[in-house]
Structure formats: structure tokens, C-alpha cells
Amino acid sequence: MRMSSGTLLVSGLLVSGLLLSASPFAHEVEVSNYQFKPAELHIRAGETVTWVNREKRVSHSVIFLGSGTESERFFPDERWSRKFDAPGRYPYTCGPHPEMLGVIVVTD
């Protein structure tokens, strides 16, 4: 079977997209029912975590305890990401809902 260069390009893009979406370097925390899921996430240094708001009407933020660094508020179906370069424990809460707790554990 002979393929045109356009077919090969499309096939290459599809394969690249699948490889990117399966990247072990990106992690997701779901924010729903006033909880971070998972509440504790273990990653390696240099990886990125994305928080996704799955609530219907509520905004959230991520505040890292100790540093006071806070994300912008993100609304339903919005995302916020942070890359973690240094090993350590990064406990966090939600600005408007301090009862929500989570931790990112970063290893070498």
C-alpha cells in the first residue's frame, strides 16, 4: 500500500499526540466535591501538576502552605498548573475553602 506524504504527516501527528498525552511528566489533580483528588500525589522533580476544577459553580485556588504562594482562582472546567523542580513536600489548601487539603511529594 502506497501512502502520500500528507497521510504520513497526519499519521505522525496522531502518534505524536498520543505520546504527548501519555507523558509520565504531567499529572492531574481533580477538584470536585470540595476535595483534591488525589489528596496526596507523588511525582519526580521536573514534573508538572495540573489542577482541574470539576465543580459545577464554585471557584477554587491553590495556596502552598509555608510560602503563601497562591494560584489565581480557577472556575469550573478551568485549569491551573505548576512545575515542581525541587524535591520536598508541598502541602497546600484552597484559598476560599481552607478545609480542603492536599500535598505534592516530589522526589529526585
Query: What is the rounded CA–CA span in Å between residue 12 and residue 53?
Result: 32
Per-residue pLDDT reduced to its tens digit, 31-88:
999 999 999 999 999 999 999 999 999 999 999 999 989 999 999 999 999 999 999 9
Per-residue pLDDT reduced to its tens digit, 13-45:
333 333 334 445 689 999 999 999 999 999 999
Question: What superfamily does domain 25-107 belong to in CATH?
Answer: Cupredoxins -  blue copper proteins (2.60.40.420)
